[in-house]
């Protein structure tokens, strides 16, 4: 598509269950969410579409709220209910598009995001209906202690200790705005909101904090783990299937 022909930019609000996908980003020979969205849009609009997402999610990670953007020659797509129906008919059952939103042509799903919120779900009781969306873990966790670790976490900006090694990022700095654990019955939920996240960061934090909750790692040890800036010092990453992207915030003039 000639770049000069592109005059209309749209945001897509969607959700997906990540179990059957190799993450968001297109990979050769792999089924990905980005690949399925691109195929569906190109088919429905009968033009070659490029889709840009708000960020990567790893294999098996879910999104209750996700934003992507695309450009089209066609105007008024945000008002086209038939297009929404068509997209959801083409897409597999584990991806759903909820809204098409007209945005300024400079709006960017990834770079304009002000914050992202993730939640991690742990259950202590076997449940056939949550085996792909919550981590089954039978050990009781100390929620007040893990919340004290959350307060320590928010005192820092450099989270190299919770990042995959050999990544191409220029900085390991993130501004964590919220981090907390809650418990309801047999379920533990970790909620974290930040301006950006490193690869594998949330799962590494969860895995390390679970060791705090089991009293295998003390609070001062947790602080030392952050300060070492060494991934090998932190705990194991929690499994992908318990992790959800649940919210993304944008400036009011965009969304």
Domain shared by 160 and 78, yes or no = no
Q: What is the CATH number of the domain that holds 158?
A: 3.30.70.660
Q: Is residue 25 part of a domain?
A: yes
pLDDT tens, position by position, for the chain (255 residues)?
A: 455 565 799 999 999 999 999 999 999 999 999 999 999 999 999 999 999 999 999 999 999 999 999 999 999 999 999 999 999 999 999 999 999 999 999 999 999 999 999 999 999 999 999 999 999 999 999 999 999 999 999 999 999 999 988 777 889 999 999 999 999 999 999 999 999 999 999 999 999 999 999 999 999 999 999 999 999 999 999 999 999 999 999 999 998
Tell me what percent of the chain is helix, strand and coil, each rounded to the nearest 5.
Answer: 30, 25, 45
Give yes or no: residues 84 and 166 share one domain.
no
Clarify whether residues 102 and 173 are in a common domain: no
One domain, residues 165 and 133: yes
Asked, for residue 254, whether it belongs to a domain, the answer is: no
Q: Would residue 222 count as lying in a domain?
A: yes
Q: How many domains does the chain have?
A: 2
CATH code, domain with 25: 3.30.70.580
Claim to verify: residue 121 and residue 204 sit in the same structural domain: yes
Active site residue 58: yes
**Final residue belonging to a domain, choices 62, 83, 111:** 111
The answer to whether 8 and 105 have CB atoms below 8 angstroms apart is yes
Taking the C-alpha atoms of residue 21 and residue 183, their distance in angstroms, rounded to an integer, is 29
Q: Which H/E stretch holds residue 25?
A: none
In a domain, 253, yes or no: no
What pLDDT does 255 receive?
81
User: Which residues have a Cβ under 8 Å from the Cβ of 103 and sit 6 or more positions away?
Assistant: 9, 10, 11, 69, 254, 255
Cβ burial of 106 (10 Å; 0-12, 13-18, 19+) is exposed
What domain range is 243 assigned to?
115-248
Q: Residues near 145 by Cβ (< 8 Å), separated by ≥ 6?
A: 212, 213, 215, 219
In terms of DSSP bridges, do strands 176-184 and 95-103 run parallel, antiparallel, or are they unpaired?
unpaired
pLDDT attached to residue 3: 53
Which of the residues 2, 58, 71, 158 is marked catalytic? Answer: 58
Q: Is residue 255 part of a domain?
A: no
As to burial, measured by CB atoms within 10 angstroms (0-12 exposed, 13-18 middle, 19+ buried), residue 142 is middle
Last residue of a domain, one of 56, 90, 111: 111
- Is 103 in the same domain as 35? yes
pLDDT at position 22, please? 96
Residues 231, 143 share a domain: yes
For residue 187, tell me if it sits in a domain: yes
């Amino acid at each position: 598509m000639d770049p000069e022909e592109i005059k209309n930019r749209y945001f897509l609000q969607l959700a997906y269950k990540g179990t059957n996908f190799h993450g968001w980003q297109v990979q050769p020979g792999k089924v990905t969410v980005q690949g399925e969205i691109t195929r569906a849009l190109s088919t429905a609009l009968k033009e070659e579409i490029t889709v840009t997402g708000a960020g990567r999610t790893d294999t098996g990670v879910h999104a209750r709220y996700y934003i992507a953007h695309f450009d089209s020659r066609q105007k008024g797509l945000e008002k086209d209910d038939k297009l929404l129906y068509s997209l959801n008919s083409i897409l597999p059952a584990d991806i759903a598009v909820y809204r098409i939103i007209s945005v300024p042509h400079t709006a960017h799903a990834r770079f304009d995001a002000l914050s992202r919120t993730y939640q991690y779900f742990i259950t202590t009781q076997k449940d056939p209906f949550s085996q792909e969306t919550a981590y089954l873990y039978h050990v009781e966790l100390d929620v007040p202690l893990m919340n004290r670790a959350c307060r320590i976490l928010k005192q820092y900006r450099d989270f190299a200790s919770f990042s995959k090694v050999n990544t191409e990022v220029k900085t390991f700095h993130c501004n964590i705005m919220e981090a907390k654990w809650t418990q309801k019955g047999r379920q533990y939920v970790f909620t974290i909101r930040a301006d950006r996240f490193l690869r594998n960061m949330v799962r590494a934090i969860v895995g390390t904090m679970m060791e705090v909750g089991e009293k295998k790692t003390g609070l001062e040890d947790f602080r030392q783990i952050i300060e070492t800036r060494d991934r090998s010092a932190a705990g194991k990453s929690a499994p992908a299937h318990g992790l959800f992207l649940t919210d993304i915030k944008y400036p009011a003039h965009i969304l």
